[in-house]
């Protein structure tokens, strides 16, 4: 199984749509505001996860209409929305090794976010993803 996770960082919707379409992922998980980016690119996620503080109400409504699975967490939590998305993806493998988890829109202008996102993916790699 190949999974794409879309965070809420910098994103070119034309390039992003091409990537998500050409790579033929089995599942697209959007971490909170990543759903805004997906819809801007004309792509609906399979799962929207997070505390939903960065995603627009219009995006949430469109996702509901398209039967996107929405997993809402309280705003007071110990994990970032990206960590929740990665953990959700890892949980789908149920002990089997993952073929691939690709992360998109996880960079940007804020060094603290970039370093945190790298740490999240290193943690996933240590779990043999």
How much is the pTM?
Answer: 0.87
Q: 71 or 123: which carries more pLDDT confidence?
A: 71
Conformation bin of residue 32: beta by default, left when phi > 0, alpha when psi is -120 to 50: left
Nearest-Å Rg of the Cα atoms of the chain is 14
Instruction: Give the whole-number percent of the chain exceeding pLDDT 90.
Output: 56
Residue 117 has pLDDT above 70, yes or no: no
Mean pLDDT of 27-34: 96
Domain that holds residue 14: 2-126
CA-based diameter of the chain, in Å? 37
Mean pLDDT for the chain overall: 87
pLDDT interval class at 126 (50, 70, 90)? low
- Number of domains into which the chain is organized: 1
Tens-digit pLDDT profile for residues 75-90:
998 888 998 999 899 8
Q: Return the CATH number at 14.
A: 3.40.50.10240
Predicted pLDDT at 50? 97
The answer to whether 6 and 102 are in contact (CB under 8 A) is no
């Amino acid at each position: 199984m190949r999974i794409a996770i879309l965070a809420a960082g910098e994103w070119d919707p034309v390039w992003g749509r091409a990537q998500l379409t050409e790579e033929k992922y089995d599942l697209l998980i959007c971490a909170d505001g990543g759903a805004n980016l997906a819809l801007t690119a004309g792509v609906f996620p399979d799962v929207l996860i997070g505390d939903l503080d960065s995603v627009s109400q219009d995006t949430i409504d469109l996702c509901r209409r398209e039967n996107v699975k929405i997993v809402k967490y309280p705003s007071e939590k110990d994990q970032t929305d990206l960590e929740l998305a990665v953990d959700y993806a890892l949980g789908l493998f149920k002990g089997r090794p993952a073929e691939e988890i690709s992360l998109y829109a996880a960079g940007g202008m804020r060094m603290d976010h970039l370093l945190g996102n790298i740490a999240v993916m290193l943690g996933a790699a240590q779990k043999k993803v």
